[in-house]
Amino acid sequence: MVAKKTQKPWFEVDQKGFRELQLSKPKHHVVRELIQNAFDEPITVCDVKTSFDDGHVSITVYDDSPIGFRDLTDAFTLYKTTYKRKDPEKRGRFNVGEKQAFAICDFAKIVTTKGTVTFDKMGRHTSVKASEVGTTVVVQFKATERQYKDMVDILRSYIVPAHIKFVVNGKDVYFSNPVCSLSAPLATEYEVEGIYRRTTRTTVIDVYASDEYQPSYLYEMGIPVQKIDCLFSINVQQKIPLSIDRDSVSMAFLQDLYAEVLNVTYDQVPADMISQNWVRLGMADERVSKEAVKAIITKRFGEKVVIANPFDPIANDNAIANGFKVIGGREMSKEEWDKVKEFGILQSSTTSFGTPSEKLPAVQPNEQQRKFADLAKRIALRVLNIDISVHFVDGGILTSRASYGNRTLIINTVGCSSLFKDGVTADMIDLIVHELGHEFGMHTEASYHSALTRIGGALVIIGIEEPEFFNLK
């Protein structure tokens, strides 16, 4: 008689090794898997009770799903086919979550509409004893008091679906309204034609305010995935591409999210938070809007800002003299600069403050302007022992009042129309000293400021000893 061969499965799971892989994970992952399963079902109540006693944690999760567990073998079969895999708006994927939770437990029990299954030191036991409605899951495991308290805190941070009454240790965790919502195409993953794959799908993104007492989280349909460095918490209403442990997403996905959120919240971000990393990542993303980039630049640098031209130091200096902030390459990342240039947000210092030159229309000075030029020349010769020339041009309202270089003082008659008087004024001396200081450097250089004080000191002595020096002739 030939013995009948028994077919063996290709794979087996080593329970000890599986447990070892789960022990390092945060303890809130245990209850997260149980609550996630409940939220995916047609429930109206999810009641969680927890307790801690001398290093031992006990958790009971009850839901009122009329279906209960659809198949009791789901409780102990890894990677079994599940209807959730095809639905991008269900949280479940691999039919592995509760097994990961049970792996670190000393005891676990499921009572549902299809029967009861118990896990204890003696192994796995099943019973036909069933609930009339809903599912109750009880787990017990070891943890520190700190781990337990962190777990309960995170439980209370869940974003509860509007139709579910969620209770944690006798206290309701209420549904809360987001500060804003938007729709956007995002990467997701679900089963299509028998293949579990990543794709892109338009979904709702809810944005929630955070504060110093409540860290910001990225959520997948109300379940916290990871802390994020953001002013807001972000709740994505579909499956998101997660790491194998389902506790993080890729930086590329996070950057897309930041850009989408930034597009609708840029006016709510305080100026002192505008340089936070999430803002800079969002601003550098291909999804960011021109309006968002413009608002960020204004909040970060102010209304008056130009791009430094390293080959035009005089234009840079003129911009500073006119109260503009001149920003250079290191102030933003390459990707941020690409967006600024793509949208044409900023002009260069040369475009806005190019030095007046012979190309500007010359102006024949009137008598008052001639006397001003004579005074400037006398001061330069007496104080600095240099000969300068003075020219007058019509530079328009967008050109700086005056510039100095190559021992030539150029005056914009439009910008200085109120400067010229019959007698010397403080404004005249101010402009002459300001410009002659550039014989020694630019506005940001110490040599320029030293020159200003030297010129000013010399003029004071001249004024005391030779007051007639300042008579306009």
Low-confidence ranges of the chain (pLDDT < 70): 1-5, 77-80, 94-97, 212, 311, 355-359, 396-400
State the pLDDT at residue 225. 93
280 three-class SS:
helix
Rounded distance between C-alpha atoms, residue 160 and residue 164, angstroms:
7
Task: Give the bridge partners for 113, in sequence order.
Answer: none
* C-beta of residue 283 within 8 angstroms of C-beta of residue 291: no
Residue 415, CB-side half-sphere exposure with 13 Å CA sphere: 18
Site of tokens 């910008």: 415
61: closest CA among 149, 157, 137?
A: 137
State the pLDDT at residue 312. 77
Rg of the chain (C-alpha set)? 36
State the pLDDT at residue 96. 66
Query: Domain 367-470 carries which CATH code?
Result: 3.30.2010.10
Task: Give the bridge partners for 62, in sequence order.
Answer: 47, 136
Residues 198-213 have pLDDT tens digits of 999 999 999 999 876 7
State the pLDDT at residue 417. 77
Q: Enumerate residues 6+ apart whose C-beta is below 8 A from 153.
A: none
Mean residue pLDDT of the chain comes to 88
pTM for the predicted model, two decimal places: 0.75
Residue 139 phi/psi, 5° resolution?
-130, 150
Residues 370-414 have pLDDT tens digits of 999 999 999 999 999 999 999 998 876 556 678 887 888 988 888
Residues 82-129 have pLDDT tens digits of 777 778 888 877 666 677 778 888 999 999 999 999 999 888 899 999
* C-beta of residue 374 within 8 angstroms of C-beta of residue 473: yes
Q: Which two tokens stand for residue 46?
A: 């999810």
Domain ranges of the chain: 15-173, 180-273, 302-354, 367-470
Q: Which residues of 99-134 are buried (b: 16+ CB within 10 A; e: fewer)?
A: bbbbbbbeebbbbbbbbbbbbeeeeeeeeeeebeeb
By the 10 Å C-beta count (0-12 exposed, 13-18 middle, 19+ buried), 348 is classed as middle
Q: Which two tokens stand for residue 144?
A: 């520190």
By the 10 Å C-beta count (0-12 exposed, 13-18 middle, 19+ buried), 202 is classed as exposed
Q: Which CATH number fits domain 15-173: 3.30.565.10, 3.10.180.10, 3.40.50.300, 2.40.40.20?
A: 3.30.565.10
DSSP single-letter state for residue 3: P
Rounded distance between C-alpha atoms, residue 400 and residue 402, angstroms:
6
Rounded distance between C-alpha atoms, residue 298 and residue 292, angstroms:
10
Rounded alpha-carbon distances, angstroms, from residue 314 to 353, 439, 471: 8, 12, 32
